[in-house]
Amino acid sequence: MAYKITDECISCGACEAECPVSCISAGDAIYAIDADTCIDCGNCANVCPVGAPQAE
* Interacting residues with ligand SF4 (CB under 6 A): 3, 5, 9-15, 18-21, 23-24, 31, 33, 38-44, 47-48, 50, 52-53
Rounded Cα gap, residues 7 and 56, in angstroms: 14
Decide whether 28 or 33 has the Cβ nearer to ligand SF4. Answer: 33
Asked if 45 contacts 14 with a C-beta cutoff of 8 angstroms, the reply is no
Decide whether 28 or 53 has the Cβ nearer to ligand SF4. Answer: 53
Closest approach of ligand SF4 to the CB of residue 42, in Å: 5
Residue type, 41: C
